[in-house]
């Protein structure tokens, strides 16, 4: 993908930045954009050299959701929505940490795209809306799953039914944004955060992310079993033994590789 595409990826060391690039449409995604997004996420999931991912938008906005323009489509609307909705699961389940870097508008599926990321860093000027009801639509792109888990059912209903915009400060107070930063500090903060995540043990982070998702829907005993299995995997990598040695020897943390110790 090149910067001329509506979705493109740039790599900087172990960090990849996925940019939605239709600034004239506030980065609303048309059908080609959705397909490019899915392809980019699949590539990033398979690329072991990428240890952290940043998702952002070009031109001062994050994403205004789906582009509602264009002519009639031959694809059945249910099939199309399932295809697009599946991208939310791919993003949420990406086996590496994902940061949403949000400026300007994040609306509808665009806001839910940010909620599918692991961490959300927003500029003070960012604006969020579950705008669906104002377009005669119901929630999509995972919004009905993300919202009640993050804010509780009553606040989720308020955000979805009224479809009112909220600012970054309120989104942070509700637990929908992890950090709020002045616009001139946003890029530097996200870059440093991504580098910190990329320096951590990749297998352990991937498993921790999966465990948290599983634990949100499972029982305590299921969580304990999943945790035991995950620790066994961690101990089969080079990273956990190296971290143990550094701790016991009181030396600097090792450079984590994610490589298997068992061959």
Mean pLDDT of the 58-82 span: 87
Phi, psi for 13 (deg, rounded to 5): 65, -125
Q: Are 257 and 243 in contact (CB under 8 A)?
A: no
Which of the four pLDDT bands, split at 50, 70 and 90, describes residue 263? low
Q: Could you give phi then psi for residue 237, rounded to 5 degrees?
A: -100, 170
Strands 52-57 and 15-20 come out as: parallel
Which of 170, 199, 228 is a domain's end point?
199
Q: Which domain holds residue 136?
A: 7-199
Residue range 119-175, pLDDT digits in tens: 999 999 999 999 999 999 999 999 999 999 999 999 999 999 999 999 999 999 999
pLDDT at residue 82 above 90? Answer: yes
Q: What's the pLDDT score for residue 74?
A: 78
pLDDT for the residue 68: 84
Closest CA to 223 of 213, 237, 233, 235: 213
This model's pTM is above 0.85: yes
Whether 2 is covered by a domain: the verdict is no
121 and 78 both lie in a single domain: yes
pLDDT, residue 256, reads 94
Residues of the chain with pLDDT > 90, as a percent, come to: 91
| Residue 259: inside a domain | no
CA atoms of 236 and 48, how far apart (whole Å) = 17
Say if residues 112 and 149 touch (Cβ distance below 8 Å).
no
10-31: average pLDDT: 97
Same domain, 60 and 186: yes
* Structure token pair of residue 8: 């493109």
Closest CA to 55 of 24, 81, 27, 80: 27
Question: Could you tell me if residue 255 is inside a domain?
Answer: no
Number of folded domains that form the chain: 2
Round to whole Å and give the CA distance between 85 and 158.
22
Instruction: Say if residue 58 is in the same domain as residue 132.
Output: yes
Residue 185 lies in a domain: yes
Q: Does residue 257 sit within a domain?
A: no
Residues 6+ apart with CB under 8 A from 177: 102, 120, 121, 122, 126, 168, 171
Token readout for 68 is: 């509602």
pLDDT of 205 higher than 70: yes
Q: Evaluate whether 153 touches 124 at the Cβ level (below 8 Å).
A: no
**Mean model confidence pLDDT for the chain:** 94
Is pLDDT above 80 for 243? yes
pLDDT in tens, 220-239: 999 999 999 999 999 999 99
Q: Is residue 261 part of a domain?
A: no
Cα separations in angstroms, 159 against 5, 137, 260: 32, 14, 45
Confidence of residue 1 (pLDDT cuts 50, 70, 90): low
Q: Average pLDDT, stretch 41-69?
A: 96
State the pLDDT at residue 71. Answer: 58
């Amino acid at each position: 993908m090149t910067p001329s595409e509506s979705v493109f990826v740039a790599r900087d060391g172990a960090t990849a930045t996925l940019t939605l690039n239709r600034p004239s449409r506030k980065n609303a995604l048309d059908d080609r954009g959705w397909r490019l997004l899915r392809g980019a996420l699949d590539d990033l999931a398979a690329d072991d050299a990428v240890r952290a991912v940043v998702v952002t938008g070009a031109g001062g906005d994050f994403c205004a959701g789906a582009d509602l323009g264009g002519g009639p489509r031959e694809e059945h609307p249910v099939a199309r929505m399932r295809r697009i909705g599946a991208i939310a699961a791919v993003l949420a389940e990406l086996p590496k940490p994902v940061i949403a870097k949000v400026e300007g508008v994040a609306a509808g599926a665009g806001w839910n795209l940010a909620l599918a990321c692991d961490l959300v860093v927003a500029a003070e000027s960012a604006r969020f809306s579950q705008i669906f009801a104002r377009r005669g639509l119901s929630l999509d792109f995972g919004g009905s799953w993300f919202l009640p888990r993050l804010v509780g059912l009553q606040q989720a209903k308020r955000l979805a039914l009224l479809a009112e915009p909220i600012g970054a400060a309120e989104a942070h107070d509700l637990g929908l944004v992890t950090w709020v930063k002045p616009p001139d500090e946003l890029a530097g903060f996200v870059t440093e955060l991504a580098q910190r995540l990329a320096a951590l043990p990749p297998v352990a982070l991937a498993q921790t992310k999966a465990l948290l998702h599983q634990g949100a829907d499972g029982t305590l005993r299921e969580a304990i079993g999943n945790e035991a299995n995950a620790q066994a995997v961690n101990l089969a990598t080079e990273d956990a033994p190296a971290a143990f040695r550094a701790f016991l020897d009181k030396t600097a943390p090792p450079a984590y590789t994610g490589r298997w110790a068992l061959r």
